[in-house]
Amino acid sequence: MEIIIKNISKGRVRVMRLQLQKNSYRSANEILTNSPLLKEIEEILLSSDIDLSSLSRSHYNHILRELFKTYGWQHSPSPFHEPVNPFAAIELTKHNIGLEIGFRHASLMGHNLLKFQLSSSHHSDRIDVGIFIVTTKKFQKQMYNIYHHNWAGAMNFEKADRYLRHFKTDFRLPIYLVGIDVA
């Protein structure tokens, strides 16, 4: 599934085709294969209603979070018994699936992935699989070249993929990695 975004800049028409790259760790794809939520996630991420020209990292994160909420995804409470840190909670959950949108700085990647592990063992918000959404390097470069939005230092699909491959035996929870990309 892909959408086409046209950008008219300096008298030229540029076309950005959004598509998704995916990778599965610890059999996450097998858990999600028959889940209608996987199609729902793709539909949200490839929504033609999103104006790419306005997307800074924080704004894109906010837009996606709100879109997911309209589909019934809920903000997850902290995996700790007391409110220790607002960044300790998984961003969104639905039907035992945890979802993180990783547009923050790449240095926080381990922190984001560790939240899945903490939540999977917490009795009140048990999740069976984590979905980690990031953008690709190519997407980030296009956002800068076309719209002058600085995504430098943000997490990206390629780095998350290397990270997960390296630590896949250390993570117990299946993780499905999704990269928002341009063709």
Q: Write out pLDDT tens, residues 116-161.
A: 887 766 545 678 999 999 999 999 999 999 889 999 999 999 999 9
Cα distance between residue 178 and residue 176, in whole Å = 7
- Domain encompassing residue 141: 3-7+14-47+54-182
How many structural domains compose the chain?
Answer: 1
The predicted-structure confidence for 85-122, as pLDDT tens digits, reads as follows: 555 678 899 999 999 999 988 888 888 888 888 776 65
Query: Model's pTM, two decimal places?
Result: 0.86
* Chain-centre distance for alpha carbon 164: 14
Q: Please choose, from the candidates 94, 100, 51, the residue with its C-alpha nearest in 3D space to the C-alpha of residue 71.
A: 94
CATH of the domain at 62: 3.40.91.20
**Beta-carbon count within 10 A of 122 CB:** 17
Tokens of 95: 């039907």
